[in-house]
Structure 1
Amino acid sequence: MNIFSAKPRARLTLAARLVICGTASAALTPAHADFLKDSKSTLDLRNYYFNRDFRQSGVPQSKAEEWAQGFILRAESGYTEGLIGFGLDASALVGVKLDSAPDRTGTGLLNTARGPGGRAEDSYGELGLTGKMRLARSTLKVGTLLPKMPVVLYNDSRLLPQTFRGAWLNSADIDQLSLDLGRLDQTNLRNSSDNEDMSVYNGVARNIRLGRHATSDRFDFAGATYRWTPALSTAYHYGELEGIYRQHYLTLNHKWVPAEGHTINSDLRWARSLDEGSSNVDNSALGAMFSYNASGHTLGLGYQRMSGDTGFANLNGTDGYLVNLVQINDFGNQDERSWQARYDYNFAALGIPGLTFMTRYLSGDNVTVRGRSDQGKEWERDSELAYVIQSGPLKNLGLKWKNASARSNFSSDIDENRLIVTYALAFW
């Protein structure tokens, strides 16, 4: 058993050395009250059972079924005093196998890369370190990152989160405007102990062809988000995976309150993805999601359309920022048109805070499938029931059941259940 079996890390960049050395130096001086006072540390416990049934499709492996325990420890410092403040964050991620077998691996909960015969390792994990600098309302972070923006959205849908290594500058010095600029050079997938180069996701019917570059160690991103009013914001983001693809992403979010206790939310997205020298990436993605909320009830309707020579482009392992990204599918295949109907209920309206329910149905068609003359079609139905204990010794203990069924004429039929128990401990 080898919990931290990661490959040796690549040498730190000059920027990383400057930030981390400056942090260490400043922390040793007397002027570090805020560095300690504003520090915090949490341990997130995540117990995860995953069962995915493939028997409807007649594939060789009839199901994927595993059970695991995750530990996510995060320690975040404050900043040292002075014009430029320095800080340091650290994380330790550990996944432990509770139940698995070679004929039912592949849930994404456990690491099978080194296990003999595809057997999941007993445990795996990684350590992360992030140096940070702050000047006014601008912050530079270098090291382990969890980017969350349209062009790169880290995946946290299994036992441990996906992480990246790189540098990320965020500035909020101009009122109502947030600016982002950065570069990533490695990723650690959600069920891996190793940093590795990045690639583009090319599953199902994305129909992306790669040339001389299948992977890259450079993803550059930039973005600007402007809040026009408390209810309206727009954003533009750019991402480029060197040698493979580049992407422009526009978003608009609006919240309208027509009457007290009633809200209408609008989420509009448009992305243009193009090749970057060594692929055939060519996709336009349009998405819109509208929801109406009143008295604990929320009704939502969504529409998504893909056009171009390929499906949607996003970094492998990440969540593609699409309105129809759901439990199993994202409906981002070439030429796919899809719609979604969703219903949520918050039982706080009935005097049971912490209890929530969600169900949705999605249908997609017009998919271009290689080697076939007919169009691909698929649908997915999801339900989710969750409860978070609100008080007492088990306050913040979360229980969640997620159920999904997906059917397709060009991919595997899937029935799936996930049971997740979470608990967070704050040390200071």
Structure 2
Amino acid sequence: MTTPNRARCFGPHTLFALFGLTCGASGTASADFIDGSRASLELRNFYFNRDFRQDGAAQSKAEEWAQGFLLRYESGFTEGPVGVGVDALGLLGVKLDSSPDRTGTGLLQSDRERPNRAQDEYGELGLTAKLRASSSLLKIGTLQPKLPVALSNDSRLLPQTFRGAWLSSTEVKDLTLDLGRFDRVNLRNSSDNEAMQVFNGGARNIVLGRNKTSDALDFAGASYKWTPALTTAYHYGGLDGIYRQHYLTLGHSLDLGDAGSIKSDLRWARSLDDGGSNVDNRALGAMFTYKRGPHALGMGYQHMAGDTGFAYVSGADGYLVNLVQINDFGNADERSWQARYDFDFAALGIPGLTFMTRYLSGDNVQVTGRTEEGKEWERDTDIAYVVPNGPLKNLGIKWRNASVRSNFGPDIDENRLIVTYTLPLW
């Protein structure tokens, strides 16, 4: 089951109608289908303010406020050797504040007739059919992958989704296999399923041939857990006619007893053209995090090499250790490092309150048409609180602050205030 190329927009009445339909459908299903089902409604209130600080900026700031509704339904499976189930994802974004001179936050969908104005509301209904046999699961329809070669973006009001087929298998103990194809992507501020493109912002220096879009992202991967503390993985992803990518990852956790622990995250990717671009990139990333009690200190390094920057599907996330709030430091030949500190206030008697700050610096960027090397830095701070118990349990409030300075891109000061609450329906 797949959604059409253009997802249907709907208002609040349709959102609740969807909930009623899924409830009614469950009534005629098998006991396992019903007993294994679950549903939730997430409310996401998002304020976004981005000030452009560089001289001559075409727009002084992007500032919008919106309310999101995310209705998720996951059925169980019917009885028998092949279990059948269905998932549904209902998304609705409602404008609370915007104006033509402040659009472009990524929270709201642009009006088709007046691109500089945000629509009052937008939404979509995503359906996914699923088949389970033994320890293998096939999903067809709307998907939110978390794979190195296809990483769904959920950093705004509504999440980005892919459309396609995805087979995941855990038949062999400690081994996870993935295989599939996506043919469309639905961006986080859109209600349309669209052909996929390669991200080419910043100083990627990617040159495309005749075809600017692709109808197929093929992927395959294997992840093996050697011990509870050590996992390695290989993934392949190919955006047909644009690029091919090979990705190796290693994750390890070293327990130091009373002295704490050290987490290691190593990533290496090789991206090549697929006949319709000049993509040529080698990406190396390493992140090491020392944790003791409520404190965590992380240090990261990332190095790009080759003719272009790192390649991934536009609108998704690139699986890079230095992908942070605004930048990913994946430009052509860029070298970057990161220092990060986290603190959990539960140690001071305030469970649910956390703090994070980090600083990243990148240089050696090869900017087309310039002899001077590109340089940039970013500083991020997050303060988050999740109510741990009581009638408002799971209510979350997060403030995200960031500053970016660059000699080849925009200078940005940014604030995001996000309030979330998830209500389990059953």
Structure 2 CA distance for partners of 1:157 and 1:9, relative to 1, 3 Å = closer
Percent of aligned pairs sharing the same letter: 69
Secondary structure (helix, strand or coil) at the match of 2:34 reads helix
In structure 2, the partner of 1:86 is 84
In structure 2, the partner of 1:214 is 212
> Cα distance, 1:117 vs. partner?
4.8
Is the 8 Å Cα contact of residues 53 and 410 (structure 2) preserved in structure 1? no
Distance 2:200 2:6 in 1: 28
> Cα distance, 1:32 vs. partner?
1.3
In structure 1, the partner of 2:254 is 256
In structure 1, the partner of 2:412 is 414
> Cα distance, 1:261 vs. partner?
6.1
In structure 1, the partner of 2:264 is 266
> Cα distance, 1:57 vs. partner?
3.7
Structure 2 CA distance for partners of 1:239 and 1:253, relative to 1, 3 Å = same
Secondary structure (helix, strand or coil) at the match of 2:54 reads helix
Is the 8 Å Cα contact of residues 34 and 75 (structure 2) preserved in structure 1? yes
In structure 2, the partner of 1:360 is 358
Residue from 169, 172, 195 that aligns with 2:170: 172
Residue from 308, 311, 318 that aligns with 1:310: 308
Question: Letter of the aligned partner of 1:312 in structure 2?
Answer: F
Is the 8 Å Cα contact of residues 57 and 412 (structure 1) preserved in structure 2? no
In structure 2, the partner of 1:110 is 108
Distance 2:150 2:89 in 1: 20
Name which of structure 1's ranges 132-141 and 108-117 shifts more when overlaid on structure 2.
Answer: 108-117
Residue from 125, 133, 136 that aligns with 1:135: 133
Distance 2:339 2:113 in 1: 41
- Are 2:360 and 1:351 equivalent residues in the alignment? no
Residue from 278, 283, 288 that aligns with 1:290: 288
Secondary structure (helix, strand or coil) at the match of 1:225 reads strand
Q: TM-score, normalised by structure 1?
A: 0.93
Task: Output aligned runs, 1:18-417, within 5 Å.
Answer: 32-114=30-112, 116-260=114-258, 262-417=260-415
Question: Letter of the aligned partner of 1:139 in structure 2?
Answer: L
- The one-character-per-residue Cα deviations of 1:270-303 (angstroms, maximum 9, x if unpaired) are 0000000110000000000000000100000000
Q: TM-score, normalised by structure 2?
A: 0.94
> Cα distance, 1:31 vs. partner?
7.5
Distance 2:175 2:191 in 1: 37
Structure 2 CA distance for partners of 1:76 and 1:243, relative to 1, 3 Å = same
In structure 2, the partner of 1:15 is none
Is the 8 Å Cα contact of residues 362 and 379 (structure 1) preserved in structure 2? yes
In structure 2, the partner of 1:14 is none
Distance 1:278 1:252 in 2: 31
Structure 2 CA distance for partners of 1:207 and 1:88, relative to 1, 3 Å = same
Is the 8 Å Cα contact of residues 115 and 121 (structure 1) preserved in structure 2? no
Is the 8 Å Cα contact of residues 7 and 191 (structure 2) preserved in structure 1? no
In structure 2, the partner of 1:3 is none
Distance 1:176 1:7 in 2: 37
Secondary structure (helix, strand or coil) at the match of 1:260 reads helix
- The count of aligned residue pairs is 408
> Cα distance, 1:348 vs. partner?
1.1
In structure 1, the partner of 2:14 is none
In structure 2, the partner of 1:20 is none
> Cα distance, 1:60 vs. partner?
1.9
- The one-character-per-residue Cα deviations of 1:140-159 (angstroms, maximum 9, x if unpaired) are 00000001110000000000
